[in-house]
Chain A
Amino acid sequence: KNEVEQSPQNLTAQEGEFITINCSYSVGISALHWLQQHPGGGIVSLFMLSSGKKKHGRLIATINIQEKHSSLHITASHPRDSAVYICAVRSNYQLIWGAGTKLIIKP
């Protein structure tokens, strides 16, 4: 069993829909990252969480430390949000990566 599990693996939605991507982990962590990888391969760090909730524009990330679970939400989704969204947890100084969720937003 992977230490970091993401769901769903693939998600296709219509423009404007509310999107939720989930991440569960089984190891002790000091922080959790959400990152975005665009088709060209570049990676952008979206959030780093150790508790609670963070919001940036249309993106919201939450984490429940007791349940070892985090969610990334996208409100009013747009085709430019199409990318792979990756959850990674920090254990010591390594990042343990989820497999990613491929999101496609159709106009």
Chain B
Amino acid sequence: NAGVMQNPRHLVRRRGQEARLRCSPMKGHSHVYWYRQLPEEGLKFMVYLQKENIIDESGMPKERFSAEFPKEGPSILRIQQVVRGDSAAYFCASSPWKSSYNEQFFGPGTRLTVL
């Protein structure tokens, strides 16, 4: 039973390009969470998605960032027109249901570097 998979593990983009980060949840998990960790800072919640639905995007920057979790395939975090300040580690976590007592399982993260 594979864990949460994220790819790529490392992504380098130039300012103005687009970054696409993928997260494949654990088998049987239909809830996905994205977190961002800026250099020297703790993790910050970005968005919570279920299949085909965005449940809570209160942590997402208002512009350039979007997320989706289609019926088939991985969840995608998309950053348009990247800037240097977007350089961070982006972590995805999944859980099988919304229950507050359920543990979130984390992926290894994608390290985005914007040149």
User: Which residues of A pack against B, CB within 8 Å?
Assistant: 30-31, 33, 35, 41-45, 48, 50, 86, 88, 90, 92-100
Contacts and interface: CB of A to CB of B under 8 A. Distances in A.
Nearest to A95: B45
Contacts of B56: 93-94
Q: Is the interface of B mostly helix, strand, loop or mixed?
A: strand
Which of B33, B43, B45 has the most A CB atoms < 10 Å from its CB?
Answer: B43
Interface of B: 31, 33, 35, 37, 41-45, 48, 55-56, 59, 89, 91, 98, 100-101, 103-106, 108-109, 111
Contact of B42 (A30, A86, A92): A86
Q: Is the interface of A mostly helix, strand, loop or mixed?
A: strand
B106 A97 contact: no
A45 B104 contact: yes
Contacts of A96: 45
A90 B102 CA distance: 10
